[in-house]
Amino acid sequence: MPVKSSNTTSANNRDQGEKSSNQRGKPSLHGLAPYEEKAGEDYMNDAQREHFRAILRAWRQELMEEVDRTVNHMQDEAANFPDPADRATQEEEFSLELRTRDRERKLIKKIDKTLIRVEDNDYGFCDQCGIDIGVRRLEARPTADLCVDCKTLDEIKEKQITGG
Ligand SMILES: [Zn+2]
């Protein structure tokens, strides 16, 4: 497929050099089609914001359903193990599920915050340096609030602090 040229993304050309290979593949857009930028269209115009609003809402819905499923699963299973040994195993499983649920809840909160930013017209720009994060990067990570460069710097700093 030929790459469409767009005069709005010149600042983001470096994105294509992003090393993480797992972002190369088709991003899962929670059932939505990738956004097709028209030549010359403004970054984060109404259509783009609507696109990301839809992605964020669909993702949020998926997570909510996942949380519900976990709760139901735990309620169903809790009744099925009267044996204490089985219950111990089950408790381990549950604590793992609870951690997953906790992660999902945090993600839902982050999505909520991100949706507010979309409403406030504050979505899609790097928190640190203010440049466009870019449509493709946002599709891969809809809650991204840093550009690739700032994110990379951030990770390097983090590694230095944790000594990793
Ligand atoms: Zn930045």
Residue 156: count of CB within 10 angstroms of its CB = 10
Overall domain count for the chain: 1
pLDDT tens digits for 113-155?
999 999 999 999 999 999 999 999 999 999 999 999 999 999 9
Ligand 1 centre distance from Cα of residue 31 (Å): 29
Give a yes or no: residue 140 inside a domain: yes
Domain assignment of residue 56, yes or no: yes
Structural domain harbouring 139: 43-162
* Ligand 1 center to 135 CA (angstroms): 15
Give the tens place of pLDDT for each residue, 4-47.
444 444 444 444 433 333 444 455 799 999 999 999 999 999 99
CATH number, domain of 153, equals 1.20.120.910
Taking the C-alpha atoms of residue 4 and residue 39, their distance in angstroms, rounded to an integer, is 8
Q: Is position 25 within any domain?
A: no
What's the 151 CA to ligand 1 centre distance in angstroms?
Answer: 7
User: Does the pTM exceed 0.75?
Assistant: no
- The angle, 0 to 180 degrees and rounded to 10, between the axes of the packed helices 84-119 and 46-78 is 170
In a domain, 136, yes or no: yes
State the distance from the centre of ligand 1 to the C-alpha of 89, rounded, in angstroms. Answer: 46
Cα–Cα nearest to 12, from 132, 129, 123, 146? 132
- Distance from the alpha carbon of residue 24 to the mean position of ligand 1, in angstroms: 21
In a domain, 27, yes or no: no
Show contacts of 29-35: CB within 8 Å, 24+ apart. Answer: 29/55, 29/58, 29/139, 30/55, 30/58, 30/59, 30/61, 30/62, 31/58, 32/58, 34/139, 35/135, 35/139
